[in-house]
């Protein structure tokens, strides 16, 4: 309930004289008032208007006040509305029954109007205090969650950047400072350094793209793409990082025209999609890449693997920035958790999309970039 907004009170009573007296008195007291002729009318108005408080007679044609409260309690959006019962039944058992059925207050007829208004004021004040306390609790929980995620991200950045950096410096130092009898050994150290340099460059590129996404400054200039140089070559270089998994990787290219897309960004996107398939595939399994080009610059990319797959309820969540990191200690794989975020943002910046679609086995990711549009900038 917004403290600056005048609360809305729904009055439900099938006796016109009592209902009118309540409506007039509550309006004069400064509240907005809705009136309902019986339980069914009250149920409809509660659904339509979501009042801040309900004052209801108990003895009405079905649904009576108790039944109405039970009906409202089945709707999560209405269950928390404060409820005051008015009734001529004044025994202790009746009051206990009313409170047991969820009433916040129980007033016997005949009642003193000033007392009723005082109880309304007190109940709304209590609700407002509880809501404010709840908001503060939620804000504190959100702040703690954000602090935890920020710390996880910073620790992960530290690990993801420091590891390839050390794996560049150490083999280079060995290659420079030692004389090896076998030139192949020295070459292996240099190749190790180059591989980790590629990984570090990829991480830096992701950080730059994330910054450009936040600033709304992604490159959208569409250039000619050489499939072998700008897609297949980088994909096979990525595959080298997973030699120990002994994956079987195949690809198929069906060309109907030249691809026109932001060159570096398209490469980065597709490599991320295939890298995910490599990363999450079990050892010795298959990964397949299909590329279909269209006559006027568009491209469709399908990446399939034989891994565990992604449940339907998770298929949008995995595109959230740092989703993998947000799983805390339960996450099993390294990485910044931004590959799918980056890929989707890049494709969507050109009017395309990246989606996870149903697959009989493993995971199937489909990325589509439409043909060049009139508003697109094309270079080369």
For 290-349, the pLDDT digits (tens) are 999 999 999 999 999 988 888 888 888 888 876 654 454 444 555 557 889 999 999 999
Q: What is the C-alpha to C-alpha distance for residues 332 and 314, in angstroms, rounded to an integer?
A: 16
- CATH code reported for the domain at 222-379: 3.30.565.10
Give residue 227's pLDDT band: very low, low, confident or very high (50, 70, 90): very high
Q: Is beta strand 105-108 parallel, antiparallel or unpaired with respect to 248-254?
A: unpaired
Q: What is the C-alpha to C-alpha distance for residues 69 and 54, in angstroms, rounded to an integer?
A: 10
How large is the average pLDDT for residues 65-82? 89
- At residue 366, the pLDDT reads 96
How large is the average pLDDT for residues 370-379? 91
How large is the average pLDDT for residues 127-134? 82
Q: What is the C-alpha to C-alpha distance for residues 291 and 274, in angstroms, rounded to an integer?
A: 12
What's the token pair of residue 115?
A: 């007392």
Give which of 252, 193, 207 is closest to 342, Cα–Cα.
207
Residue-wise pLDDT tens digits, 11-33: 999 999 889 999 999 999 999 99
Q: In what order do the strands lie in the sheet with 299-305?
A: 248-254, 286-293, 299-305, 363-369, 353-357
Q: What is the C-alpha to C-alpha distance for residues 88 and 13, in angstroms, rounded to an integer?
A: 12
- At residue 326, the pLDDT reads 43
Name the range with the highest mean pLDDT among 61-70, 164-173, 183-192, 347-356.
Answer: 347-356
pLDDT for 136 beyond 60: yes
Residue-wise pLDDT tens digits, 83-119: 888 877 655 565 566 556 566 777 877 888 998 899 8
How large is the average pLDDT for residues 34-58? 93
Q: Which residues pair with 248 in a beta bridge?
A: 286
- At residue 91, the pLDDT reads 53
- CATH code reported for the domain at 8-111: 3.40.50.2300
- At residue 265, the pLDDT reads 93
pLDDT for 149 beyond 70: no
- At residue 195, the pLDDT reads 82
Rounded to the nearest 5 degrees, what angle is found at the Cα of 167, between the Cα atoms of 163 and 171? 165
pLDDT for 59 beyond 60: yes
Contacts (Cβ under 8 Å, ≥6 apart) of 242: 278, 279
Residue-wise pLDDT tens digits, 178-221: 877 778 888 888 888 888 888 888 878 888 888 888 888 889 99
- At residue 204, the pLDDT reads 81
Would you tell me how many other CB atoms lie within 10 Å of the CB of residue 144?
10
List the domain boundaries for the chain. Answer: 8-111, 147-201, 222-379
Residue-wise pLDDT tens digits, 240-292: 889 999 999 999 999 999 999 999 999 999 999 999 999 889 999 999 999 99
**Which tops the pLDDT comparison, 56 or 328?**
56
- At residue 217, the pLDDT reads 86
Give which of 228, 213, 189 is closest to 322, Cα–Cα.
213
């Amino acid at each position: 309930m917004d403290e600056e907004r005048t609360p809305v009170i729904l009055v439900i009573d099938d006796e016109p004289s009592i209902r009118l007296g309540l409506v007039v008195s509550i309006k004069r007291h400064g509240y907005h008032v809705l009136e309902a002729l019986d339980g069914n009318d009250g149920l409809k108005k509660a659904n339509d208007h979501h009042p801040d408080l309900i004052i209801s007679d108990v003895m009405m044609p079905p649904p009576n006040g108790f039944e109405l409260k039970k009906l409202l309690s089945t709707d999560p959006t209405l269950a928390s509305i404060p409820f005051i019962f008015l009734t001529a039944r004044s025994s202790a058992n009746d009051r206990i029954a009313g409170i047991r059925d969820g009433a916040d207050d129980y007033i016997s007829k005949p009642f003193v109007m000033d007392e009723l208004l005082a109880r309304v004021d007190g109940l709304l004040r209590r609700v407002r205090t509880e809501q404010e306390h709840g908001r503060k609790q939620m804000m504190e929980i959100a702040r703690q969650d954000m602090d935890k995620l920020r710390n996880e991200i910073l620790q992960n950045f530290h690990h993801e950047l420091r590891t390839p950096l050390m794996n560049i410096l150490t083999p280079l130092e060995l290659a420079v400072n030692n004389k090896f009898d076998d030139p192949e050994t020295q070459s292996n150290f240099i190749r190790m350094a180059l591989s980790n340099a590629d990984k570090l460059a990829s991480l830096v590129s992701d950080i730059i793209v994330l910054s450009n996404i936040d600033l709304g400054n992604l490159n959208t200039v569409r250039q000619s793409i050489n499939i072998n140089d700008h897609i297949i070559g980088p994909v096979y270089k990525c595959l080298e990082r997973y030699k120990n998994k002994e994956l079987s990787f195949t690809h198929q290219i069906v060309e109907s025209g030249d691809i026109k897309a932001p060159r570096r960004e398209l490469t980065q996107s597709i490599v991320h999609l295939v890298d995910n398939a490599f990363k999450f595939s079990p050892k010795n399994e298959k990964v397949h890449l299909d590329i279909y080009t269209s006559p006027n610059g568009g491209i469709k990319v399908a990446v399939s693997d034989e891994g565990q797959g992604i449940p339907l309820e998770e298929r949008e969540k995995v595109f959230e920035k740092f989703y993998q990191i947000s799983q805390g200690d339960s996450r099993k794989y390294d990485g910044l958790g931004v590959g799918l975020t980056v890929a989707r943002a890049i494709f969507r910046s050109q009017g395309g999309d990246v989606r996870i679609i149903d697959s009989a086995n493993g995971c199937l990711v489909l990325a589509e970039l439409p043909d060049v549009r009139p508003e697109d900038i094309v270079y080369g």
